[in-house]
Structure 1
């Protein structure tokens, strides 16, 4: 499929969105009763499942490193289902390849930034992420799913870790009045495969009050071609706005889930 956008269709993207418009987000907490916490997210056609086990006593290689540890340990596994890319492509290994290991390490950094590890000395938490279907921005969606799974597990966090991607390409929409490319938010697979660069941002978009949001970036990585330094700040700000919008959706979903949980608990009594 040609990633170019038909400007005769009102300047919309391939899937009908505007340059800074997010895909539709569907999510659910408490998917698995066997896990301590779980969450499922669909962001467009990207589908992610996350589970959390713990806190529990360290196992395996973590035991030796916990002798003098004053903080808890976060163990992350990032897997991509072999069928996740559709009929035309199959992933040979669901986990253990270089990309999966890098993503697991990045996910670990994001989770360590939001968990109060001081409260879990000599304990371990396991976060498992399974990418069920790939259609762009899957790492950012995985971070969102893992954050929700931690909440469902009842693990105290400092704030939501929210991920959002922004893609820059000469063949994609997203120009300002000067004609300079401003990028498109939450790219799908076709848009990410176009010649250009995709910047993935994971941030803590903390809400100060109803009119102000103070965001701090905890993780950022790029893929594709080189990005000129002069474009970085404007893209960062747009990606942070996307993180803020996603946080609003996630926060409302958490509140709805907790309300249902409270009502169900009251009825059981």
Structure 2
């Protein structure tokens, strides 16, 4: 391979990670006051914000389902999210990502609790660095929990890829652009897949290794998601306790 396209140096990737290491993750819950639930997430240089509205009345009404709520998911990349300015508005890729992301989340949402209603999920990519669909699913899952939407569990999403003949976890932009394959997945904490895609070619043993690596990444992301939610609502409970104490003092 051309030296300029070398993916590894002394056993480490170009961003300093080991092959089985995730990019740094940051999650903030409840960042939008007007949304029912929201989440800001960073996965490496990806910066994504998710907002959830609902359950609420469906418009237009002919879309209503008598026995359950419908779930709508809108994924969008801001024009300034990539180096070469993106044309504003939805395109073929955004429709595809919206569809598979909705299908990844919908199995764990208890839609039968809210017939004739809709849960709207909006995901906006503010800065892209490969893996935006997985980052969006992670953020949307946390935002759904923040909105109090009844769910069986959280959904966590991650990708594995093949670069320079080696299977790696959570490919960054350079690895995604010049790598040989990309396998994004989404799964429950119990290990059930809700999303599995593959771009490129992998041998059966390579695919098995990629899935094992991606599952390990999802498990690590789940712990970060869970910790962010626990911290968010622990701080709210502490604040409410302080407010009640102040009221008692003034009384």
TM-score (norm 1): 0.86
2:12 corresponding residue in structure 1: 12
How far residue 135 of structure 1 moved from its aligned partner, in angstroms, is 0.8
Distance 1:28 1:82 in 2: 23
How far residue 263 of structure 1 moved from its aligned partner, in angstroms, is 1.1
How far residue 260 of structure 1 moved from its aligned partner, in angstroms, is 0.5
2:249 corresponding residue in structure 1: none
Distance 1:143 1:154 in 2: 17
Distance 2:160 2:36 in 1: 33
- The answer on 1:189 being equivalent to 2:184 is no
2:247 corresponding residue in structure 1: none
How far residue 11 of structure 1 moved from its aligned partner, in angstroms, is 0.8
In 1, are the aligned partners of 2:74 and 2:123 still within 8 Å (CA)?
A: yes
How far residue 2 of structure 1 moved from its aligned partner, in angstroms, is 4.0
TM-score (norm 2): 0.92
In structure 1, which of residues 61, 64, 79 is the aligned counterpart of residue 62 of structure 2? 64
How far residue 248 of structure 1 moved from its aligned partner, in angstroms, is 1.0
Deviations 1:160-212 (A, max 9, x none): 111000011226xxxxxxxxx3x111111011011301000111123xxxxxx
How far residue 18 of structure 1 moved from its aligned partner, in angstroms, is 0.3
Distance 1:133 1:254 in 2: 23
* Alignment coverage as a number of residue pairs: 242
1:124 corresponding residue in structure 2: 118
Distance 1:118 1:239 in 2: 31
Distance 2:40 2:149 in 1: 17
- The answer on 1:84 being equivalent to 2:81 is yes
- Return closer, same or farther for 1:226/1:265 CA change in 2, 3 Å cut-off: same
In structure 2, which of residues 214, 219, 228 is the aligned counterpart of residue 244 of structure 1? 219
1:199 corresponding residue in structure 2: 183
Deviations 1:207-247 (A, max 9, x none): xxxxxxxx111111122x22233422221111111101111
In 1, are the aligned partners of 2:161 and 2:179 still within 8 Å (CA)?
A: no
Distance 2:34 2:211 in 1: 39
How far residue 3 of structure 1 moved from its aligned partner, in angstroms, is 4.1
1:75 corresponding residue in structure 2: 72
In structure 2, which of residues 199, 204, 228 is the aligned counterpart of residue 229 of structure 1? 204
After superposition, residues 128-207 of structure 1 pair within 5 angstroms as 128-170=122-164, 181=166, 183-206=167-190
How far residue 27 of structure 1 moved from its aligned partner, in angstroms, is 1.0
How far residue 259 of structure 1 moved from its aligned partner, in angstroms, is 0.3
Distance 1:234 1:135 in 2: 23
RMSD: 1.5
Secondary structure of 2:106's partner?
helix
1:39 corresponding residue in structure 2: 39
How far residue 6 of structure 1 moved from its aligned partner, in angstroms, is 4.2
- Return closer, same or farther for 1:262/1:188 CA change in 2, 3 Å cut-off: same
Distance 1:155 1:260 in 2: 20
Q: What stretches of structure 2 of length at least 5 have no aligned partner?
A: 245-251
Q: What stretches of structure 1 of length at least 5 have no aligned partner?
A: 172-180, 207-214
Distance 2:62 2:8 in 1: 58
In 1, are the aligned partners of 2:7 and 2:164 still within 8 Å (CA)?
A: no
Secondary structure of 2:179's partner?
coil
